[in-house]
Structure 1
């Protein structure tokens, strides 16, 4: 099993900081957001990860590289706890760049050579998961049972109309359609799609097919993965897994703050600061 992280976006909702710092590198206390995805992947047994980034995100590559100067300083000073904190990932991490922001479908096409014949988990780094069983591991388990593409479903979220909502077959397992941002009262279910998928390699043929149609019809617009997903759905090749645990959306400042507080509250000293701040408001 391999992992792919889509990290090419501009992060405009966090300007001006994202003018120079990738959104994925914004820290939740002392750890960048993308590191939580990597930990989730590692806990699911994924040991090869491709990060699809863009020209402005060199710091992502630097973060997952060795920091030789600091290693030397900390080794000389016998600061082994610091050394552990800057140790590189034990998995193999690769990078490729999306030369132009052409949407998620185009980004996924960049992963075909890396994926080969393996199934792969795709993460959008805006979606962080906290729970006893890592979300990627939940999707992997469903794949081993079904052998099909797996979508992560969030049950009955607030503001359902902001999501792509899944339409399910009678077995409540197979996904037959996805409706983007349905009008109030028209959603086909209460199950929203979030940014975690497990794809089988068969998706690439449909991505290429959809890309050809896209170039013929609207080549200047972004190309999304929905066409390929719907082709798989029509063939009974997509199932859903309703996630267990807590999902936090860091794609906007409000959700990012919630995630920051969630992580900070795990540290007793920082939790005290939060309580004192809240009491003084």
Structure 2
């Protein structure tokens, strides 16, 4: 079945980026003249996604406002005959819906809220604080190419230095058919002895079976439903593949990478001039 739906979880507090996230959602941090989440939505559209569910919290109405039309602004620009600026406000070619996560219960809970939206279809998940630039084929599209061939869940992966692995889910894997990465286990934020140097990044393709495991996942010590726990249990029954997307990845929750992402976009735009 073709993947046409995607979930973008955007309800978190963004505590790694305080104090600015007290007023501005990290998903709206600008890279060039566009917010980070704009690039994520564009990546989904380029991969053939037709419907997106953005999971927000009560404090994230600015995200909804961003993707809504501003008739007053459009009218103003028309009156001033600023057609070039009007083009920048053209709505994105995708249907966007929203749902609120009323309590901060983690990434697994945010995805679980999308069950009725998914409607028993395979779907993508894109985390909006990770952007991947630099390739004609987007990161999600690269995952979808594996899903299309094998109809199995796919995780985006990235080789990490040992010191960073404690911040991610880390996979144990083996080489499968045609050299594919076949995932056999996953460990959430290993403090010592990580199973490999391949960490899970913010791109996923799931079969709808994931919801069964999210529903039975027990809350962690912090009271959150961990997506990693559901994946770990699902691996006992279904095969997962991994893909290391080509491109340059930036985690905009880290100040140095947020700055680097802006420098990359600036250099890219200067090259086009």
**Matching of residues 147-166 of structure 1 within 5 Å:** 147-157=151-161, 159-162=163-166, 163-166=168-171
How much does 1:160 deviate? 4.2
1:120 corresponding residue in structure 2: 123
1:135-179 CA deviation, whole Å, 9 max, x = no partner? Answer: 111111110011011000113446342332210134252211112
2:210 to 184, 198, 203: 203
1:94-144 CA deviation, whole Å, 9 max, x = no partner? Answer: 111100100111111110011112211101111111122101111111100
Gap change, CA 1:158 and 1:81, over 3 Å in 2:
farther
How much does 1:13 deviate? 2.5
Q: How many Å separate the matches in 2 of 1:137 and 1:202?
A: 21
1:224-258 CA deviation, whole Å, 9 max, x = no partner? Answer: 11221012211232111121111111112122111
Gap change, CA 1:15 and 1:227, over 3 Å in 2:
closer
Q: Helix, strand or coil for the counterpart of 1:198?
A: strand
Q: How many Å separate the matches in 1 of 2:98 and 2:185?
A: 32
1:26 to 23, 26, 29: 29
1:276 corresponding residue in structure 2: none
Q: How many Å separate the matches in 1 of 2:46 and 2:10?
A: 20
2:249 corresponding residue in structure 1: 247
Q: Helix, strand or coil for the counterpart of 1:178?
A: strand
Contact 1:160 1:190 in 2 (8 A): no
- Indicate yes or no: 2:100 matched with 1:97: yes
Contact 2:169 2:228 in 1 (8 A): no
1:168-214 CA deviation, whole Å, 9 max, x = no partner? Answer: 13425221111233355x2322211111111111111111122xx44
- Indicate yes or no: 2:59 matched with 1:52: no
2:79 to 76, 80, 85: 76
**Matching of residues 1-281 of structure 1 within 5 Å:** 1-130=4-133, 131-157=135-161, 159-162=163-166, 163-171=168-176, 173-183=181-191, 186-210=193-217, 213-214=218-219, 221-268=223-270
1:277 corresponding residue in structure 2: none
TM-score by length of 2: 0.91
Q: How many Å separate the matches in 1 of 2:174 and 2:104?
A: 34
- The structure number with the bigger radius of gyration is 1
Provide the alpha-carbon RMSD of the alignment: 2.0
Report how many residues are paired.
265
Gap change, CA 1:107 and 1:30, over 3 Å in 2:
same
